[in-house]
Every structure is written in C-alpha cells, then in structure tokens.
Amino acid sequence: MGREVLACENLCVGHGGRAIMSDVSFSLEHGRILAVVGPSGCGKSTLMRALSGLDEPVSGRSTLLGQDLAVATAGEREDTLRRLGFLFQGSALFSSLTLRENVELPIREFLSPPRRELRQLAEYKLALVGLSDAMDKLPSEISGGMAKRAALARALALDPEVLFLDEPGAGLDPVTASRMDELILRVREAFGTTIVMVSHEVPSILRTADYCVYLDTDTGRMGAYGPPRDLLTSDAHPRARAFFSQTHRT
C-alpha cells in the first residue's frame, strides 16, 4: 500500500460557520489523482479549500501530509503549505508580469536562488507545460488555454508534493481541455505528484482521475467515493451515476 497523503473524517465545510456539505470521509494515497465532483453550488471549491488548509472546516477532521492544519502551529502550517501547489479558477496570473516573472515569483520568495538560477528554474517549468515560446508575453497577450498552462507552471514552481487544481478545464475548448488532461497526467507520472482537482467536466474526470468524491446537493452530504468509471455504472450510488451519465460523452 502507498503512503497516505490526505485523509478526512466526518468533515463538514461551509462559510462563516454555516455548513454547505457534511459527512465527508475518505483517504487518498501518494501519487493518486482525486476529482471532487457534483452539481453546481454543492461546495466543491469550498471542500478543496478546507482540504488544502486555505480555510478551516466547520467541524470534523482532516490531515494533509500527516498534519491537521486546523490545529497546527504557525510553523507547522507554513511548512506544510510550502509543500503544496495551487491552480485557481481564472488562472490568477499577475497581469503586469510576464509569464516567466509569474513563475519566478514563488521561487524567489521561498528559495531566493541566484538570478541566473531563478531564470533557469522558471524557464524549465514553462517549458514543461509547452510555453517556451511565450515566456516574455504578458497574460493579456495569450489565450485562455495558455494562461491555464502558465498557471500550472507557477503551481509547479516549488516542486509540490500535492497539487490542488480548481476547474483546470473550465472555459477550454475540447481539444485544449484534452491537452490539459494529458499535461496533468504527465505531471503525475514525471514527479509522482498527488493531485486533487475540482471539476464538472466528466470526460476529463474519466480520463485523469483515479478516485472521485461525489457531493450530493439533495442531502448536503458526501454521496459516493470511488473510481469514476465505477460510479458511472454503480447501482449503489444512483445520484452519482445519474450525474456521470447525464454529462458523459463517449
């Protein structure tokens, strides 16, 4: 069995103490890809923020890389967050910086390497996502798909052990979305990265995810957990099956 990277037990998440989704319990091993899925408004991004330590849960317990961030000291929390990478919705690139400068930013902040090494590290990450020819462009000068890849390069800047992706395929055409899926799989294979992604794109989920957490808006609870193709055909989880079946494209 692999090393457990992420686990939660009876986790309840929400905003301002108000619960959105409860009874979330599962564990994830090193090097696996987990998709958090469910209808719009079910709390997918809220759950991911709680799992990653960006927000505190309403109740319950979760551990990430062996650390419960809700009760961790400031030093323990900083050390754990340093081992994570994030790709946010909308890419969240700094508009006044070039793509290379966007990737250099976290490297400079946490590692402070010599200028030449900093540039080489940033260029390597951008080359990894196929943006060698766009390093000196501003975010406004590139397409949405390129912006997603640049944001992924920045998320990979510090060689994270766990990568959190919020809707990596949102707004992309099918061909570009498929290339993003291939890139996610390549990152996992090349670096052994554990990946947690929020997505409503069923074709992408079926291509990339090892496991899925399905959030059920009707009950306000986690409705299912398992391999996505199992949930697609499962009689034991009819709501999850319906979600996958309604949006699945062969």
pTM, two decimals, is 0.92
Q: Is 160 left (phi over 0), alpha (psi -120 to 50) or beta?
A: beta
51 CA to centre of own chain: 10
Compute and round to an integer the Cα radius of gyration of the chain.
18
Return per-residue pLDDT of the chain as tens, 250 residues. 468 999 999 999 998 889 999 999 999 999 999 999 998 889 999 999 999 999 999 999 999 999 998 889 999 998 999 999 999 888 889 999 999 999 999 999 888 899 999 999 999 999 999 999 999 999 999 999 999 999 999 999 999 999 999 999 888 888 999 999 999 999 999 999 999 999 988 999 999 999 999 999 999 999 999 999 999 888 888 889 988 887 554 4
What the chain holds in terms of domains, given with CATH numbers, is: 4-83+161-247 (3.40.50.300), 95-159 (no CATH)
Residue 249 is predicted with a pLDDT of 47
Asked whether 175 and 207 are in contact (CB, 8 A), the reply is: no
Q: To which residue do tokens 């457990």 refer? A: 4
Other CB atoms within a 10 A radius of the CB of residue 117 amount to: 12
Residue 192 is predicted with a pLDDT of 94
Residue 178 is predicted with a pLDDT of 92
- Rounded CA gap, 82 and 52, in Å? 11
- Rounded CA gap, 131 and 126, in Å? 5
Residue 248 is predicted with a pLDDT of 52
By the 10 Å C-beta count (0-12 exposed, 13-18 middle, 19+ buried), 71 is classed as exposed
